[in-house]
Amino acid sequence: MRSLGQKRVHLQFRNLQFAIWIEAFLALFLILGGYAVTWGAVGCDLNDPDRDVARLFPESTGYKTHYVSIDRKGGQPLLAKIETRLGDKFRGIYETIDVPYTIYEIFANKKKIGYIHGVNQKGQFGGIQVFVVLDLEAQIRGFYIQKMTSKYAGKLRDANFGKQFFGLTLKDFELYDVTSGKASGRVEAIKNPAPEAEADFRAALRATKKNLILMDEFVYSSP
């Protein structure tokens, strides 16, 4: 049987074990948290995720953030597959295989109800950030250009322009040729509100198609 002194020592030991586990847990949390922010290339995040998710997905109660890159998900073969589906090469010094894509997984209570995902796209006068809001069937239910530098940016960022994308899917965008800008089917019906900014209009469509392909590869067709 243990003496009183021994019991005290044992209790001290238990408390110390607990303190050490807390310290170890904190250390692990810090390490994992740190690695999440050590990406190389620039990604596309919502400026204010709490506010933006609530605005883009009004019925949501929470979200989770995931970081995926083509490099980590499938490397060069995946990049080649995405380029084939897009009908265009990844161009420039910033559209690279290691770009980290931020996927916001949206929840209503504990039930997953959709996704928000954004991509960077080269525009005529600056970078364009195009976000699509998708339901679980990969149908667009929201469209948001977070950033665009153009004299006509206001027209392209207008809610009425975004509404033209509602209900479209990747299948619709498969009929859109990003290099020539020729479209058929439902994408053809999307009207450019600023004909003077044709280059930025086409950039927005290319970004949307790229966005949907990436989401298909990362989420919807992913095992």
Partner 1 sequence: MITKFQVAYKNLQRKRIRSLLTLIGIALSAWVLVSLLGFNQGYENALNKDIDNMGFELMIMAKGCPYEAATMMLKGGTGLKYINESIMEEIAKEPEVDKAFPMLMSAVFDPNKGESGGIAGYFGVEARSFAELKPSLKFKQGKWFTDTNAYEVVMGYEAAELEQREVGDMILMPEKNVEFKVVGVLERTGTQDDGTIFVPLKTLQKIFGRPDELTTIGIKLKKGVDSARLEEKLYKLPDVQVVSLAQVKDTIMKLISTAKVMVLSIAIIAILIAMVGVINTILMSVHERFQEIGILKTIGAMPWDIFKLIWIETLILCAIGGVLGIGLALILSKVTGILIRYVMPYAPSGGLVLIDLKLVLITLAAVLGIGLLSGLYPAWKAGRIRPLEAIRSEVGR
> Binding residue for partner 1 (CB under 8 A) from 4, 37, 109, 180?
37
Q: Is 122 in the site for partner 1 (CB under 8 A)?
A: yes
**Under rule CB under 8 A, which residues in 59-98 are in contact with partner 1?**
92-95
**Do the Cβ atoms of 43 and 36 come closer than 8 Å?**
no
- Phi/psi of residue 182, each to 5°? -80, 135
Cα 72 from chain centre: 15
**Do the Cβ atoms of 141 and 113 come closer than 8 Å?**
no
Q: What residues have CB less than 8 Å from 82, skipping those under 6 apart?
A: 70, 90, 210, 213, 214, 217
Distance of closest approach, residue 111 Cβ to partner 1, in angstroms: 27
The contact pattern for partner 1, residues 136-175, with x = CB under 8 A and - = no contact, is: ----------xxxxxx-xx--x------------------
Q: Is 126 in the site for partner 1 (CB under 8 A)?
A: yes
Of 101-109, 119-127, 132-140, 211-219, the segment contacting partner 1 by CB under 8 A is: 119-127
> Binding residue for partner 1 (CB under 8 A) from 5, 58, 77, 223?
5
Q: How far apart are CA 134 and CA 147, in angstroms?
A: 19
Specify the residue, 2 or 110, whose C-beta has the smaller distance to partner 1. 2
